Amino acid sequence: MSDKKIINRRQFLKGAALTGAGALLAACAPPAAPAAPAAPAQPAQPAAPAAEATKAPEAAPKMEKTGEFHGAFPYQVPPTGHWNSFVPDGIPNGIAIYQDLLEMPLARYRWAEGEYVPLMAKEWKFDGDNFVVTLREGAKWSDGNPFTAKDVVATFNIGRLFNFTLFNYVDDVRAKDDLTVEFHMNKPSTLVRRLVLVTPIRSAATYGAIADKVAALVKEGKGKDSDEWKALLKEATEFRPEKLIVSGPYNIDPASITDASLTMNLNPTSWAAEKVNFAKIVLYNGETPVVTPLVLSGDIDYATHGFPPATEKEFISQGIRIIRAPTYSGPAIYFNHDVYPLGLKEVRQAIAYSVKRDENGKVSLGDSGVAHKYMVGISDNLIPNWIEADALAQMNTYDYNPQKAEELLTGLGFKKGDDGVWVDDKGKKLEFELTVPAEFADWSAAAENLANQLNQAGFKITVRGVQFQQHGKDIPAGNFVMAISSWGAGNPHPSFSWTTPLFTRNYVESTTGKGMNFPMKQKVGDKEVDLQELIVNSALGLDESAQKAAVTEVAKVFNELLPIVPLWERYGNNPALNVRVEGFPPDGDPIYKNAVYGDNFVVMMILDGTLRPKSG
């Protein structure tokens, strides 16, 4: 039997529908015709105890592949873009949800049923202190090599080098035989299941040499503070594979990659090639301003971008269907805690009190930008499954209260100057730059509205748009003062929502800088708290019901310290067209419980053959 249902859910990263956040982009011209092709640069990634094995679905009968599926996701064009999927600017990981079509994970999750769907794995189970995965027999890579435990071990050895969260709970990954992998848990946790199953597995033919070096360093007892580890991390970061080796049903044609689009052709060596129905997958490159006219012209079948309310209204007027799936996340205010006085919790609390979060959400994404209520860093939709009502009632919701904000700031010795701008106790104005990914229409609208609200409250905030890929690098590197970035996560367990801001974008896991440098050891009330340890411990054990107290403790600490300030939760306003594609289930189908970016329903429906070329 498969893993038991863990939780009910609803939401994650983007939204839709209402007034004023941005004018319709109909005036935007479609992208120019594709430029000459370029290839990537040469040389140069719930909760029931001990679930029983899950059976893989039978392969569909062979059929002739026809038609194309047209999606959209921004990526970097070579030579900046490359094949190393563990690091920034990698093309396979850059196209995010579509990476599953290339470097397939072991399984994907169906949120409504609370069950994982086997992909490169056949079955899995908790066995004492081990999480054991049995791989799909007969699967092959695009280079003809068999898919084996060696590939899984290599993937996670590289992952150890890049600080994968898995290694907070696992101390050893070993091949028991060619088709069996054991993950030994030094801290048994239900999280191990998801951290293992949804990780894209890479080819040992590509990454095995570096992976073997990682294993050797671990055997020697050398960790991330050693010179050898740092040198190997640099080598892995700068590694540029000559080609992409895939296990999935498609592979990218290097000659097709342009500024406008790329094409994935059918990979006949994949076990999944018989299940999918499209001969090709075409992905258009670009953020919302580029993608909008392509949706309106019928050139794109599905997009996950955050479309402003006016744009969505135009989509609907043209008969384009909108799928409102959850994202379990949204935009938040990030702070560089090295910049005084942003490292003071009272300043962050005052900022939270100064913002009408409901207004910010509506301006950005209409009804799909829903203000985050409980301010604990996890989706309000996940909270009932993890935090009891009496504990929740004690949380500070930071409702709009400019008087409370003023009390906090004056309590620090801050005063307003003659110009109405707050001055700190060192005589410096509370004047900060707020950066935002320039191409993200919804977040850009949120940033402008946020700046207006904070400026009215006596801060002096200047918004600067940054190219979105660069912005994604700046935060973990610590190259910002205040920034709009994501909070929450399309994952069933709350700990995932905390690890992205507090681990990945902080000194805990960042390999490019100190990130926001939020101290994980702090005093809360009269108690010394290690927030990193609390988050790790919130997922310990193989019984999720027993984890609720630990999850509640992390929520309380987050609510008090506000390391980031979540603004609103985003619901997808994903256009789904029937120009080339048919098979989309009706609204209300359980598949639409899936997180847009966590276990994307469209990619899963491509893989299982639900979506197909339009007949006739």
Please give the distance of CA 423 from its chain centroid, rounded to a whole number: 37
Q: How large is the average pLDDT for residues 487-510? A: 93
Instruction: Please say if the pLDDT value at position 44 is more than 90.
Output: no
Instruction: Please report, as a single letter, which amino acid is at residue 147.
Output: F
Residue 6 is encoded by which pair of tokens?
């863990």
Q: How large is the average pLDDT for residues 313-321? A: 96
Report residue 313's pLDDT band, with 50, 70 and 90 as the boundaries.
Answer: very high
Q: How crowded is residue 214: how many other Cβ atoms within 10 Å of its Cβ? A: 22
Structural domain spans, the chain: 330-570
pTM: 0.75
> What pLDDT shows up at residue 30?
29
> What pLDDT shows up at residue 8?
21
> CATH number of the domain at 330-570, please?
3.10.105.10
Residue entry with tokens 């989509």: 315
Residue 567 is encoded by which pair of tokens?
């603004």
Residue entry with tokens 């047209």: 70
Q: What phi and psi, each to the nearest 5 degrees, are found at residue 611?
A: -85, 140
When the pLDDT of each residue in the chain is averaged and rounded to a whole number, the result is 89
Contact present, 120 and 247 (Cβ < 8 Å): yes
Residue 540 DSSP symbol: B
DSSP symbols for 187-214: S-BTHHHHHHHTSPPPPHHHHHHHHHHH
Nearest to 612 by CA among 588, 589, 580: 580
Q: CA-to-CA distance for 3 and 48, rounded, in angstroms? A: 6
Report residue 123's pLDDT band, with 50, 70 and 90 as the boundaries.
Answer: very high
Q: CA-to-CA distance for 430 and 459, rounded, in angstroms? A: 6
Instruction: Please report, as a single letter, which amino acid is at residue 63.
Output: M
Q: CA-to-CA distance for 459 and 351, rounded, in angstroms? A: 9
> What pLDDT shows up at residue 490?
86
State whether residue 115 is helix, strand or coil: strand
Instruction: Please say if the pLDDT value at position 372 is more than 90.
Output: yes
For the chain, percent of residues with pLDDT exceeding 70: 90
Q: CA-to-CA distance for 349 and 337, rounded, in angstroms? A: 14
- Whole-number Cα distances in Å, 558 to 374, 529, 531: 11, 11, 9
Would strands 66-72 and 278-284 be described as parallel, antiparallel, or unpaired? parallel
